[in-house]
Amino acid sequence: MGVNGYGTIGKRVADAVAAQPDMEVAGVAKTQPNFEAHTAVDLGYPMYAAIPERAPLFAEAGIETAGAVDELVADADVMVDCTPSGIGAENKTMYASYDTPATFQGGEDATVAETSFNARANYDDARGADTVRVVSCNTTGLSRLVAPLSEAYGVETVRATLVRRGGDPTQDSRGPINDILPDPISIPSHHGPDVQTIFPDLSIETMGLKVPATLMHVHALNVTLESDVTAAHVRQLLENQSRVYVIPEGFGLDGAGTLKDFALDAGRPRGDIWENCVWGESIAVEGRDLYLFEAIHQESDVIPENVDAIRAITDAADAAESIERTNRTLGVGLAGDPTGFDSAEPVEADD
């Protein structure tokens, strides 16, 4: 498996793949020899120059390259494209020219791939496909809730307000500072239609805002269900989802800052939080209307999905097998999660 684009998502995908007993990192491709490139070398990932003419820059920085990115594409069974939005689409012909199946990230248009992908919702659509698009962090977060709610109760309409972090911790040129921006001002935001790439018939309206925070997104969610439910029943349903963490009362996890601290305390790599974090005490039901808050870690919630997308595209396992293996290997599930793994557990290669 090769990773093209070794930034926020790419470096996490490489590490997650390296942890899988049934996968191997053939190499990673990068445009520039920055700090992440040095870490990749330390981790032993063969480094390829994403822009061949820039290979000398890597040599100057003391980083040996194994070749140009097309050599990696030729060698790899699957390419995971983790380049910035829009570059993935440009890379598509390169992957096709080597007959290498490829997965793309949610920043690309849905048309980049045969299918958009969320492991919980539509794994089978991606089995044996040549191209798959793993949807964005927010769309992944919404899909993980829509799938079980839809199966258990039927969903009439989803209304989501996405209070989005302005940028990631490393994106120091982004804002806002001290402002609350409807973004986009027009309704719906692109998120609703993006969720419909996973659930084509879903009625969903999304409103997006940006605020001066970098750690996680927070969603304020209303779902009108097709049947009467209780908050307790919904809570149990969500607790049974392996990639949904229902934050227990009394843990003092009042926002993104404490959630990230909790993940770092738990020894999570980079403090990543792969799960939707739904505040248990926020789950409220009024008639057929469900309300809740959840936090989404924009840098990492798609990582287990990327691993599963590789298994789907290579038809290496069915959904349940893949999800279980990914979860166990990474250690998905924080303290207090009934479906969680206490920590990453080794899995036999022939598992």
- Footprint of a copy of itself (CB under 8 A): 157, 159, 161, 163, 165, 176, 178-182, 185-188, 205, 207, 209, 211-218, 220, 222, 254-257, 279, 281-284, 286, 289, 291-293, 295
Q: Nearer Cβ to a copy of itself, position 96 or 220?
A: 220
Q: Nearer Cβ to a copy of itself, position 282 or 314?
A: 282
List CB contacts of 333: < 8 A, sequence separation 6 or more. Answer: 242, 245, 275, 327, 339, 340, 341, 342
Write out the binding residues for D-glyceraldehyde 3-phosphate. 136-138, 191-192
Q: Annotated catalytic, 277?
A: no
Q: Nearer Cβ to a copy of itself, position 77 or 183?
A: 183
CA 259, distance to chain mean position in Å, is 17
Q: Smallest distance, Å, CB 295 to a copy of itself?
A: 8
HSE on the CB side for 203, CA within 13 Å?
9
Write out the binding residues. 8-9, 107, 136-138, 165, 191-192, 298
Q: Smallest distance, Å, CB 189 to a copy of itself?
A: 10
Write out the binding residues for NAD(+). 8-9, 107, 165, 298
Give alpha helix (H) positions in the chain: 8-18, 35-42, 55-60, 69-75, 87-97, 119-122, 137-153, 191-195, 231-239, 256-265, 303-313, 319-330
User: Which residue among 29, 72, 112, 137 is the active-site one?
Assistant: 137
Reported in sequence order, the residue ranges of 105-216 that DSSP labels E, i.e. its strands, are 115-117, 131-134, 155-165, 181-182, 204-211
Q: Smallest distance, Å, CB 68 to a copy of itself?
A: 40
Distance separating alpha carbons of residues 190 and 324, to the nearest angstrom = 31
Q: Nearer Cβ to a copy of itself, position 120 or 217?
A: 217
Q: Smallest distance, Å, CB 225 to a copy of itself?
A: 14
What is the b/e burial string over 15-42, where b = at least 16 CB atoms within 10 angstroms of the residue's CB? bbbebbebbebbbbbbbebeebbeebbe
Active-site residues, by number, are 137
